[in-house]
């Protein structure tokens, strides 16, 4: 069987980098799609993935047409994509009473519209080839809501609805669609939370610490395996016990 190709959006971010590394180590050809405007970030990423089958591709995931062109480029090279991990995400935290339209729209467009943009362009190829693994990186805050995150919580909760609906549409075609809901992990997003608030959150985590990006990446590698074909429409929480539900 040919090597499978995995696209990871937000691929050079905190969770994205760990996901790229885990998928490459699992034998995938990985394309890390992310904004190209910060050469020093890209260089740091390239150093981290040195020696692995991972390449960086500049992409604005909120641009529907650019996502189409990007997916067609991979298809034309005969490289799938077979696995799509939607990990691009931003925060613009503030209470609703202070939130402006730009803070709402940017979070919804990067976190949720991007999932539509990539899936819409990739889905026909996946169903046509009879294989696909889509993993949407949501958040515990999409399950519980978080103070100061009406925009982010709405986007992340929306990903769950999207995941379940698309899972039903493509289940007979060899394509699975799942979401992973990380808790608070050691990433720049979490580092940006004021120290006192972050400590208050960690104090509530039963495991007693922030998550490691590798712990999220391991779950993504599991769900995107060929052998994971009977798991679809699921949400896998990886949150140290911060939110437990059945
Ligand atoms: N619950 C209740 N009250 C809270 C609170 C909370 N969790 N957090 C703050 N408050 C209170 C403050 O004490 C303050 O009270 P006073 O007005 O009486 O002093 C008030 O709410 C602050 O209200 P503001 O209108 O001034 O709030 P703000 O617009 O300045 O926003 C904030 C504050 C930026 C949202 C800040 O609370 C914050 O950073 N919170 C953390 C949000 C968070 O957890 N983000 C997660 C980022 S990481 C991520 O998203 C990754 C992932 O998936 C897990």
Convert the pLDDT of each residue in 57-114 to its tens digit. Answer: 999 999 999 999 999 999 999 999 999 999 999 999 999 999 999 999 999 999 999 9
What residue spans define the domains of the chain? 5-238
Convert the pLDDT of each residue in 24-52 to its tens digit. Answer: 999 999 999 999 989 999 999 999 999 99
Summarize the confidence of residues 184-211 as an average pLDDT.
95
- Provide the pLDDT for residue 2: 83
Report, as residue numbers or ranges, the catalytic residues. 152
| Distance of alpha carbon 60 from alpha carbon 85, whole angstroms | 15
Is the beta carbon of 190 within 6 A of some atom in ligand 1?
A: yes
| Distance of alpha carbon 138 from alpha carbon 61, whole angstroms | 16
Convert the pLDDT of each residue in 5-21 to its tens digit. Answer: 999 999 999 999 999 99
- Provide the pLDDT for residue 216: 98
**Does CATH place domain 5-238 in 3.40.50.720?**
yes
Convert the pLDDT of each residue in 119-128 to its tens digit. Answer: 999 999 999 9
Is the beta carbon of 197 within 6 A of some atom in ligand 1?
A: yes
- Provide the pLDDT for residue 11: 97
Question: CB neighbours of 151 closer than 8 A, spacing ≥ 6?
Answer: 92, 99, 103, 104, 107, 108
Give the residue, out of 148, 156, 212, with the most ligand 1 atoms within 8 A of its beta carbon, to mutate for a pocket test: 148
- 8 A C-beta contact, residue 132 and residue 176: yes
The 3-class SS string of the chain reads CCCCEEEEECCCCHHHHHHHHHHHHCCCEEEEEECCCCHHHHHHHHHHCCCCCEEEEECCCCCHHHHHHHHHHHHHCCCCCCEEEECCCCCCCCCHHHCCHHHHHHHHHHHHHHHHHHHHHHHHHHHHHCCEEEEEECCHHHHHCCCCCHHHHHHHHHHHHHHHHHHHHHHHHCEEEEEEEECCECCHHHHCCCHHHHHHHHHCCCCCCCECHHHHHHHHHHHCCHHHCCCCCCEEEECCCCCCCC
For the CA atoms of 27, 117, 59, 34, the dihedral, rounded to the nearest 10 degrees, stands at -60
Is the beta carbon of 153 within 6 A of some atom in ligand 1?
A: no
Instruction: Tell me, rounded to whole angstroms, the distance of Cα 64 from its chain centroid.
Output: 17
How far apart are the CA of 94 and the centre of ligand 1, in A? 7
- Provide the pLDDT for residue 105: 98
- Residue closest by Cα to atom 33 of ligand 1: 94
Q: Which of 29, 87, 44 is nearest to 219 (CA)?
A: 87
How sure is the predictor about 1, in pLDDT bands with cuts at 50, 70 and 90? low
How far apart are the CA of 93 and the centre of ligand 1, in A? 8
- Residue closest by Cα to atom 2 of ligand 1: 147
């Amino acid at each position: 069987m040919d090597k499978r190709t995995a696209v990871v959006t937000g691929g050079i971010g905190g969770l994205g980098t760990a996901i790229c590394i885990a998928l490459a180590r699992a034998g995938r050809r990985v394309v890390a799609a992310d904004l190209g405007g910060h050469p020093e970030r890209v260089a740091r990423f390239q150093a981290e993935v040195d020696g692995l089958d991972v390449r960086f591709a500049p992409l604005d995931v909120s641009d529907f047409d650019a996502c189409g062109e990007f997916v067609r480029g991979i298809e034309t090279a005969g490289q799938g994509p077979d696995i799509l991990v939607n990990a691009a995400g931003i925060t613009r935290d503030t209470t609703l009473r202070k939130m402006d339209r730009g803070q709402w729209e940017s979070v919804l467009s990067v976190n949720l519209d991007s999932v539509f943009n990539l899936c819409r362009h990739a889905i026909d190829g996946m169903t046509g080839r009879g294989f696909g693994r889509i993993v949407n990186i949501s958040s515990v805050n999409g399950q519980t809501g978080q103070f100061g995150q009406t925009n982010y919580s709405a986007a992340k909760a929306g990903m769950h609805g999207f995941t379940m609906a698309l899972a039903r549409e493509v289940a007979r075609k060899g394509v699975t669609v799942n979401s992973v809901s990380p808790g608070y992990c050691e990433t720049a997003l979490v580092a940006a939370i004021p120290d006192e608030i972050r400590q208050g959150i960690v104090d509530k985590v039963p495991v007693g610490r922030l998550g490691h990006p590798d712990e999220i990446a391991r779950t993504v590698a599991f769900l995107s395996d060929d052998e994971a074909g009977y798991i679809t429409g699921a949400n896998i929480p990886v949150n140290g016990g911060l939110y437990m539900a059945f």
